[in-house]
Structure 1
Amino acid sequence: MKILLVDGTIIGRKTGAILEQVKLYIEETNPELTLEIMNLSDFEHQFVDGRPLGDYNEDMREMVRRFTEADGYIIATPIFQGSIPGVLKNAFDMLHPRTMRYKPVSIVANGGTYQHHLVIENQLKPILDYFRCLVTPNYVYTHTSHFDETNSIINEDVHDRLRELARVFAEYAKMSTHLSKETIDNP
């Protein structure tokens, strides 16, 4: 199974640091999964305005291709101004509604206040529910205080929760192989 780990921002390093740690824990839990990190900062983004996919630049089409070919996802996002970054929402707006259907998804996020975890519940989960993803029940939210000056995670509870997220994600990935996937070409 091919799992896409999405760094959902174009600035900062904490989100990427969480994603790298999750990748290590998933590799320990299930080494058969093929893991690929996709940094949204590596793409030249265009504003999604409803035109056909072929009218967007090569980077936007490549991003859609990677989402489409993946069998599961880890979505990593910072919380800015009480919301997910616009670049992440723009990426979701590029996707066909069936792209992520019945595929496992886990969420990791970071923010500057402890209340920002609610953005996951109020914004990100509804988007993933719209796509009919298999969202694991245990997301991990981190706070600035969980990192040192090099953006390494220094909080053991966060490490424990990331290990648990990796374990649950691996089980959801296994479970998803038994579900039929509706293809984009099949209405």
Structure 2
Amino acid sequence: MKILLVDGTILGSKTGAILEQVQTYIQEFAPEMELKILKLADYDHQFVDGRPLGEYNDSMQEIVRRFEDADGYIIASPIFQGSIPGVLKNTFDMLHPRTMRYKPVSIVANGGTYQHHLVIENQLKPILDYFRCLVTPNYVYTHTSHFDDTNTIINEDVHNRLRELARVFVQYAEMSTHLSKETLDNP
């Protein structure tokens, strides 16, 4: 099973640090999973404007291919100004509505205030619901204070929640293998 761990920003390193920790925990529960990190910072982004996929640059087409090839996702996002980064939303806008259908997804995020966890509920979950993903009920939101100066997670409660997120994600991934990705209705 191919799992795409999406670093949904082009700035900073805390989001990537969270993903690497989640990757470690998923490997503990399911070493057979093929885990790949997709760093949006590594791509040349174009604004999505509705043109056919083939008219976008190679970077944008590669992002779409990687999403299509994945069997599940860990979406990681910093919260900037009470919102997800535009580059992450732009990435979602590139995807066909069926790309992520019935595939497992877990969410991790980080921000500078404790209230920003609501962005997950108010922005990320509705987007993933639109795609009809199997969103795990537990997400992990981290605060700046959960990291040391080298962006290592130092809060044991955060580690426990990330382990639990990984455990639940693996169960959702197993469940998803029994669901047809085909549909009789429109996207």
Report the 3-state secondary structure (helix = DSSP H, G, I; strand = E; otherwise coil) of the residue aligned with 1:88.
Answer: helix
Structure 1 equivalent of residue 159 of structure 2? 159
Kindly provide the amino acid, as one letter, of the partner of residue 81 in structure 1. Answer: Q
Residue 53 (1) aligns with residue 53 (2): yes
Report the 3-state secondary structure (helix = DSSP H, G, I; strand = E; otherwise coil) of the residue aligned with 1:38.
Answer: strand
Q: Deviation string for 1:53-85 (max 9, x for gaps)?
A: 000000000000000000000000000000000
For 1:33 and 1:107, locate their aligned partners in 2 and report how far apart those are by CA, in whole Å.
18
For 1:158 and 1:29, locate their aligned partners in 2 and report how far apart those are by CA, in whole Å.
18
For 2:155 and 2:31, locate their aligned partners in 1 and report how far apart those are by CA, in whole Å.
25
Kindly provide the amino acid, as one letter, of the partner of residue 82 in structure 1. Answer: G
Residues 1-187 of structure 1 correspond to what in structure 2 (within 5 A)?
1-182=1-182
Q: TM-score scaled by structure 2?
A: 0.98
- Per-residue deviation at 1:182? 2.1
Report the 3-state secondary structure (helix = DSSP H, G, I; strand = E; otherwise coil) of the residue aligned with 1:142.
Answer: strand
- Per-residue deviation at 1:49? 0.2
Q: Deviation string for 1:129-148 (max 9, x for gaps)?
A: 00000000000000000000
RMSD: 1.1
For 2:13 and 2:104, locate their aligned partners in 1 and report how far apart those are by CA, in whole Å.
25
Residue segments in structure 1 that go unaligned for 5+ positions in a row: none
Count of residue correspondences? 185
For 1:32 and 1:167, locate their aligned partners in 2 and report how far apart those are by CA, in whole Å.
14
Report the 3-state secondary structure (helix = DSSP H, G, I; strand = E; otherwise coil) of the residue aligned with 2:180.
Answer: coil
For 2:153 and 2:29, locate their aligned partners in 1 and report how far apart those are by CA, in whole Å.
19
Residue segments in structure 2 that go unaligned for 5+ positions in a row: none
For 2:148 and 2:16, locate their aligned partners in 1 and report how far apart those are by CA, in whole Å.
14
Q: TM-score scaled by structure 1?
A: 0.98
Structure 1 segments of 4 or more deviating over 6 A? Answer: none
